[in-house]
Amino acid sequence: MNDQINVLLEVLEEIKQQNRELKASIFNLPQPTESQGEIENRKNLAGIAKILEEQLEFHRRFREELCQVIAKLGERTHEMKSGITEVRISQDEATDKLLTELQTKQTTPEIKLSKYYLFDVKRWAEWLIWGVMVAVLACVIGWTAHLYGVNQALDSHALRYRILRMELGYTQPNIASLDSLFSAEDSDDSIRKLRSRVTNYELAIERQAELHLQQQHLNEEQEALSKKLKQ
């Protein structure tokens, strides 16, 4: 682009030089005795000289405007080159930063090795605590199972006592048959039925006792009322 502008400036300079030479040659012509035709020629030459001056002025202005445009283009080109350079620099910095981060992430992490001692006091204390906790848990489970068995045995004996008390009101109880019934493994249904019979019997006894008490209260009230009437 600069070469083309230089060529154009050289062409304009040559045109300007030719116009100057032509103007000088016109003014240097010999002036013979003026006639009517010569006067007309001189007027024509003066008009031509004026036109040439106007053309030269136009070319001068055009050259100045062209120089201004070239200067502005140069400034704009410089700004564009500077912007491209800044963009490239920022891209290079971003690329370097990204590569640095990738290298940092890809580096092998340091492995911390902790020494292990079999006879470490702290480790033995932890094992001892865990052992005590397991032993306590086993004792709690065993004690719970024992209490459950004792509770079942007490419930069984209580049921036997209730059955014996119920049968005393009817016939002579057979303790041996009760023992064999409770010791048998497949006697759950029979025991359940006996429990239901005992519960019903006890409810009936309680109801009978309540009726007896009510009857006793009524008798006492009747006796008291009869005593009041006799008085």
Q: How confident is the model at residue 130 (pLDDT cuts 50, 70, 90)?
A: very high
**Which domain range does residue 74 map to?**
2-28+46-104
Could you tell me which of 178, 200, 175 has the C-alpha nearest to residue 191? 178
Residues 142 and 100 in one domain: no
Residues 203 and 142 in one domain: yes
Residue 11 lies in a domain: yes
Residues 95 and 162 in one domain: no
CB atoms within 10 A of CB 163: 21
Q: Residue written as tokens 């992430």?
A: 105
Quote the pLDDT of residue 187.
65
Q: What is the pLDDT of residues 195-209, one digit of tens each?
A: 787 788 778 878 888
Quote the pLDDT of residue 74.
76
Residues 146 and 199 in one domain: yes
Tokens of 197: 């019979």
- Cβ-contact 198, 163 below 8 angstroms: yes
Quote the pLDDT of residue 85.
76
d(CA 206, CA 210): 6
Residues 215 and 170 in one domain: yes
d(CA 58, CA 41): 25
Domain boundary among 86, 104, 122: 104
Which helix (DSSP H) or strand (DSSP E) does residue 187 occupy?
Answer: none
Residues 170 and 87 in one domain: no
Residues 100 and 180 in one domain: no
Residues 98 and 145 in one domain: no
Q: What is the pLDDT of residues 81-110, one digit of tens each?
A: 777 777 778 777 888 887 787 777 665 555
Residues 97 and 188 in one domain: no
Could you tell me which of 9, 113, 17, 22 has the C-alpha nearest to residue 66? 9
- Of residues 138 and 5, which shows the higher confidence score? 138
Q: What is the mean pLDDT of residues 34-50?
A: 69
Count of the separate structural domains present in the chain: 2
Residue 50 lies in a domain: yes
Residues 90 and 162 in one domain: no
Quote the pLDDT of residue 205.
78
Residue 88 lies in a domain: yes
Backbone angles phi and psi of 50, in degrees to 5: -65, -40
Residues 81 and 16 in one domain: yes
Q: What is the mean pLDDT of residues 43-64?
A: 75
Quote the pLDDT of residue 136.
92
Residue 87 lies in a domain: yes
pLDDT at 146 over 80: yes
Quote the pLDDT of residue 108.
52
The mean predicted confidence, pLDDT, of the chain is: 73
Residue 39 lies in a domain: no
Residue 152 lies in a domain: yes
Q: How confident is the model at residue 182 (pLDDT cuts 50, 70, 90)?
A: low
Quote the pLDDT of residue 101.
79
Domain boundary among 104, 121, 151: 104
Segment among 106-110, 174-178, 189-193 with least mean pLDDT: 106-110
- The residues, any chain, with a CB within 8 Å of residue 117's CB and separated by 6 or more, are 123
Residue 195 lies in a domain: yes
d(CA 126, CA 169): 65
Domain boundary among 89, 104, 119: 104
Quote the pLDDT of residue 68.
79
Residues 83 and 162 in one domain: no
- Of residues 29 and 202, which shows the higher confidence score? 202
Residue 15 lies in a domain: yes
Note if the pTM is more than 0.85: no
Query: Taking the chain, what is the end-to-end CA distance rounded to the nearest angstrom?
Result: 155
Tokens of 147: 């209490």
- Of residues 221 and 184, which shows the higher confidence score? 221
